[in-house]
Amino acid sequence: MRQSHLLQNTLRERPSEADTQGHSLLLRGGYVRQLAAGVYSYLPLGRRVLRKVEGIIREEMERADVQEVLLPSLQPAELWMESGRFATYGPNLMKAEDRHGRSFVLGPTHEEAVTWLLKNEVSSYKKLPVRVYQIGTKFRDELRPRSGLLRGREFIMKDAYSFDTTEEGLDQSYRVMYEAYHRIFARCGLDFRAVEADAGSIGGEGGSHEFTALSSIGEDGIAVCGSCGYAANVEQAETAGMKGLPEAAESPSRGAATTPSLDRAALGEFGNIQINMASDQMPGGGEAAGSAFGQNADQAHEPELFHTPGVKTIDQLVSAFGLQAADIIKTLIYTAGGQTVAVLVRGDHEVNELKVAKYLGVPEVSLAEESAVLAAAGVLPGYVGPTSLKLPVTLLVDYAVADMTSGIAGAGRPDYHLRGVVPDVHFSLRHTGDFRNAAEGDICPRCRSGLIGVHKGIEIGHVFKLGTRYSEPLAASFLDDTSRSRPMIMGCYGIGVSRLVAAIAEQHAGEEGIAWPAELAPFDVHLIVVSMRDEAQTKLADELYETLKRSGVEVLLDDRQERPGVKFKDSELIGAPHVIVIGREAGEGRVEFEHRGAGGKETIDYREAIRRITE
C-alpha cells in the first residue's frame, strides 16, 4: 500500500505510557493506541501483525486437526454458578446485566460455554475425541493493567478445549496441543521455554505447562536447570536443602506442590496437617527459648544476643553488620485458616505462600496483621524470631533453614537479634518442608546435579489437563461402549494472542524499531523514495511497487513528501525484512537493497532486487 494513505502517526519520543521498550516501539510506530487502561485499538500496522500471528495459529491448529468454533462473550451467569466460578473467580470477572436484569459474565475464558456446548452435542463415545479452538476477544478486569498488550483488560486469546473418553486420550490430546504450541512459538521467532506450572483459577488436577517467552520485563520467574533442562515456574519448582534433597520427581508433567511425588516420609510426617490438632501445637518460644528439641542439644551453646537498634530488614542487617543474607533466618508470621503460623526461610529466599497453604491443607494464607504478630511473637515485625514465639504456633521450617549449622534470627524483643541459633536445638524441625520459591544456584530437583538459573519471562501460553473439573458440575457426560454414563475428560489450552505480539515486540526490539520475524512483519518490503520530486525515482518506484504487488508480495511504498531522514526513521519503526531505497541512481535502474538481519546494504540493479525478493 501507499504510505501516504496509511493510517499511521509515528512518534519521535518514548511516550510516558510506555513502561517497556517493546511497548514503546509499538506506540511510536503507530501499531496500537490506548483507549482506556488496558484497552487498546489496533491501527493498520498492528492489525496486520496480529492477523499474521492469528494465521500461524490457525495453520497449526488445522495441522493438528483442531476444529475452529466461535463462542460468545456474553455468558449467562447461571452457567458460571454451575461450575462454581461465579463465586470464586474474583473481581477480575467482568459482568453485565441485560435490560431484563439477567446477569451475564463477559467471558474471560470459555470452559463453561464449551462444556455446555459439548454436553448438548455429544452423547456417545463414538463422537469423541473432539478438539476445538477459537480466536477471539476476552475480558478480564485486571487490577493493574500494564505494559500495553502484555496485561490488558480486553485482549485477544486463542483458547482450545479437548474432550476425551479416557485419561490416555487426554494425554494424547495434551501432547498434540503441546507440540502444536512449540511449532507456533518457534514460527513466531520466540526464545521460549515450556515450564511446569500451577493450574491456578482454571482448576483441574492434571498436569499443566506454561509456555514462557524469556524477557527481562516478564512478570513470571522461571527456574531452569543448566544441566538437564528441567524448567518450572519459580513458584512451582521444587526446592530442597542438602538434608532435604528429594527423590527425583516421577512425572515430568507434574509440578511439585500439586503432586507430592517426593518421599517425605524420611523427613518427618507427610502431607497436609490439621493446624487445629492439639498434637501440632507446640511451644515455639517464650520461656522455651533455651530448651532443646533434638539430639544435638548437648553440643549447642545458647544463642548470643546482640544490639541492632532500628535494624528491621534483612538488607539493613546485611549492610550494617557485614553479614550474608544466606546466614540469616527470616521468620514470617502468617494467618492460615484462622490460625497463626510461623514460616522460617533463609534471608536470601522468598516464602512461597502456595506451598505453605498446600502443606497446611488450607485454601490460602496471608501475612498476619501487626496485632497478630505481636500476640504470636511478643514483638512487632522486624525482630520476630523462632526462639521467642509466645502463642503455641505451628512452626514451618524450610529445608534450606533446616540445613543451616546455625543462623542469625530476630530476638523477639525490639532492637535485638540473636547469633548462633541452631536448628533442631533452638527450634523444632517437626514441620520441615519446601516452603519457598526456587532461587538462583539451587540444586536441580530433577537431575540433582545441575544448578538452577532463574530467568524472567512472559507467559504466552498455558496447557492444562482439566480432567472432569467442568464436565462433572455441568454434567457433560457420554455413554461409553458398555452404555455407562461417564463425564468427559477435558483439557484446555490457551495462547494470549495479543500478548504474543507484545512478547515478540520485546524480544525483537532494537533501539529504533522492531526487527519483525519475516513471517510476522506488517509488510515484506518497504520501498522508500528519497525524493518524490525526482521523476526517475517515482517512476522506478511505481514499477517496483506494481511488479512486486503482482507477485503477491506485501509492499509498502513510502510516497510521502517527507525528508529522507524522516522516512528512514519511520522505516525502522515498521521493521519490514526487506528495504529498497530508490535514490540518486534511479535513472540507471539501481537501488539500495537491504535484507535486514542478513548483512549490510548493497546497491544493485532493481531487477536483481525483485529477483531476490520473489525467489
Interface with a copy of itself (CB under 8 A): 1, 4-9, 30, 33, 35-36, 39-44, 46-48, 50-51, 65, 67-76, 91-92, 94-96, 98-99, 102, 104, 106, 113, 116-118, 120-122, 126-127, 129-130, 132, 134, 136-137, 139, 141, 143, 153-154, 561
Residue 489 Cβ vs a copy of itself, minimum distance, rounded to whole Å: 16
User: What's the Cα-to-Cα distance from 2 to each of 108, 546, 557, 611, 614, rounded to whole Å?
Assistant: 38, 11, 5, 22, 20
* Residue 85 phi, psi (nearest 5): -80, -15
DSSP 8-state class, residue 499: H
Beta bridge mates, 103: 97
Residue 525 Cβ vs a copy of itself, minimum distance, rounded to whole Å: 17
What is the C-alpha end-to-end distance of the chain, expressed in Å? 21
- For a copy of itself, the closer of residues 126 and 175 by Cβ is 126
Residue 313 Cβ vs a copy of itself, minimum distance, rounded to whole Å: 31
Residue 190 Cβ vs a copy of itself, minimum distance, rounded to whole Å: 22
Sequence-separated (6 or more) residues with CB below 8 Å from residue 463: 174, 177, 178, 181, 208, 209, 211, 491, 492, 493, 494
Cα atoms in the 13 Å half-sphere on the side-chain side of 21? 16
**In 3D, which of 503, 421, 378 has the Cα closest to residue 53?**
503
Residue 539 Cβ vs a copy of itself, minimum distance, rounded to whole Å: 22
**In 3D, which of 507, 503, 527 has the Cα closest to residue 576?**
527
Residue 5 Cβ vs a copy of itself, minimum distance, rounded to whole Å: 7
- For a copy of itself, the closer of residues 50 and 197 by Cβ is 50
Residue 87 Cβ vs a copy of itself, minimum distance, rounded to whole Å: 16
**In 3D, which of 55, 60, 105, 97 has the Cα closest to residue 80?**
105
- For a copy of itself, the closer of residues 133 and 435 by Cβ is 133
Asked if residues 144 and 500 have their Cβ atoms less than 8 Å apart, the reply is: no
Measure the CA–CA gap between 290 and 308, rounded to whole angstroms: 21
Q: Where are the beta strands (DSSP E) in 468-532?
A: 477-479, 485-487, 489-496, 525-529
Nearest-10 Cα torsion for 461, 145, 53, 48: 180
Residue 458 Cβ vs a copy of itself, minimum distance, rounded to whole Å: 21
Residue 545 Cβ vs a copy of itself, minimum distance, rounded to whole Å: 14
- For a copy of itself, the closer of residues 115 and 428 by Cβ is 115
Asked if residues 245 and 449 have their Cβ atoms less than 8 Å apart, the reply is: no
- For a copy of itself, the closer of residues 122 and 344 by Cβ is 122
- For a copy of itself, the closer of residues 47 and 243 by Cβ is 47
Residue 300 Cβ vs a copy of itself, minimum distance, rounded to whole Å: 52
- For a copy of itself, the closer of residues 42 and 545 by Cβ is 42
Task: Reply yes or no: is the peptide bond before residue 129 cis, omega within 30 of 0.
Answer: yes
Question: How many residues would you count in the chain?
Answer: 615
Parallel, antiparallel, or unpaired for β 555-558 and 220-225? unpaired
Residue 180 Cβ vs a copy of itself, minimum distance, rounded to whole Å: 16
Measure the CA–CA gap between 613 and 551, rounded to whole angstroms: 10
DSSP 8-state class, residue 300: P
Residue 609 Cβ vs a copy of itself, minimum distance, rounded to whole Å: 25
Measure the CA–CA gap between 3 and 1, rounded to whole angstroms: 6
How many Cβ atoms sit within 10 Å of the Cβ of residue 216? 10
- For a copy of itself, the closer of residues 137 and 551 by Cβ is 137
- Distance from CA of residue 417 to its chain's centroid? 38
**In 3D, which of 197, 188, 85 has the Cα closest to residue 463?**
197
- For a copy of itself, the closer of residues 106 and 376 by Cβ is 106
Please name the amino acid found at residue 448: R
- For a copy of itself, the closer of residues 117 and 245 by Cβ is 117
- For a copy of itself, the closer of residues 136 and 564 by Cβ is 136
How many Cβ atoms sit within 10 Å of the Cβ of residue 65? 10
Residue 168 Cβ vs a copy of itself, minimum distance, rounded to whole Å: 18
DSSP 8-state class, residue 146: B
- For a copy of itself, the closer of residues 117 and 553 by Cβ is 117
By the 10 Å C-beta count (0-12 exposed, 13-18 middle, 19+ buried), 324 is classed as exposed
- For a copy of itself, the closer of residues 154 and 506 by Cβ is 154
